[in-house]
C-alpha cells in the first residue's frame, strides 16, 4: 500500500500544469483586454450628461412622449371580430429520400421497340 499515492501524485501534477497554463492564458487575455479598452477610450468618449438641461431635451431624443406605447396599428386588436385564418394541417417535414426507396425490380426488357 506504499504506492497508493503515486497515481494521485501524477494526476495532481497534471492538474497543476493545466492550472498554471490557464493562469498564463488568463494574464495574456487580460493584457489584451486592457489594450482594447485603451483603444476604445481613445476613439470613443461618451457624451457628458448634464443635469441642468434635462427638461429641455427629455423627449427630444426619442421623439415620443414618455409613457406606455400604443399598440402598432397594423394588427387589429384581438377583440375585433374578423375572419380567423384556418390553421394549416400538419405535414411531415420534407426529407430527401433515395430514388430507389420505392423501386420495384422489373424483369429485363428485350431489345427493340416496345409501344
- Stated as kind and residue range, the H or E segment containing 43 is helix 6-43
Tens of pLDDT along the chain (115 residues) come to 455 667 889 999 999 999 999 999 999 999 999 999 999 988 887 777 655 554 554 445 556 556 666 655 565 555 655 666 788 888 877 766 666 666 677 777 777 776 6
In a domain, 38, yes or no: yes
Q: What is the DSSP string of 1-32?
A: -GGGGHHHHHHHHHHHHHHHHHHHHHHHHHHH
Residue 94 φ then ψ, to 5°: -65, 135
In a domain, 94, yes or no: no
In a domain, 18, yes or no: yes
In a domain, 24, yes or no: yes
Give the CA-trace dihedral at 77, 79, 85, 90, to 10 degrees.
100
In a domain, 110, yes or no: no
In a domain, 25, yes or no: yes
In a domain, 107, yes or no: no
In a domain, 13, yes or no: yes
pLDDT at 23: 97
Q: Does the global pTM surpass 0.75?
A: no
Domains contained in the chain, number? 1
Structural contact between residues 34 and 42, judged by C-beta atoms closer than 8 angstroms: no
* Nine cell digits for residue 107: 424483369
pLDDT at 102: 67
Residue range(s) defining the domain that contains residue 35: 9-43
Amino acid at each position: 500500500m506504499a504506492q497508493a499515492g503515486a497515481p494521485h501524485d501524477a494526476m495532481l501534477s497534471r492538474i497543476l500544469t493545466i492550472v498554471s497554463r490557464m493562469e498564463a492564458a488568463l494574464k495574456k487575455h487580460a493584457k489584451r483586454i486592457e489594450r482594447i479598452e485603451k483603444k476604445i477610450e481613445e476613439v470613443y468618449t461618451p457624451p457628458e450628461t448634464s443635469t441642468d438641461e434635462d427638461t429641455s431635451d427629455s423627449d427630444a431624443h426619442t421623439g415620443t412622449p414618455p409613457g406606455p406605447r400604443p399598440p402598432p396599428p397594423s394588427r387589429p386588436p384581438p377583440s375585433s371580430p374578423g375572419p380567423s385564418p384556418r390553421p394549416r394541417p400538419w405535414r411531415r417535414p420534407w426529407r430527401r429520400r433515395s430514388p430507389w426507396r420505392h423501386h420495384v425490380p422489373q424483369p429485363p426488357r428485350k431489345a427493340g421497340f416496345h409501344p
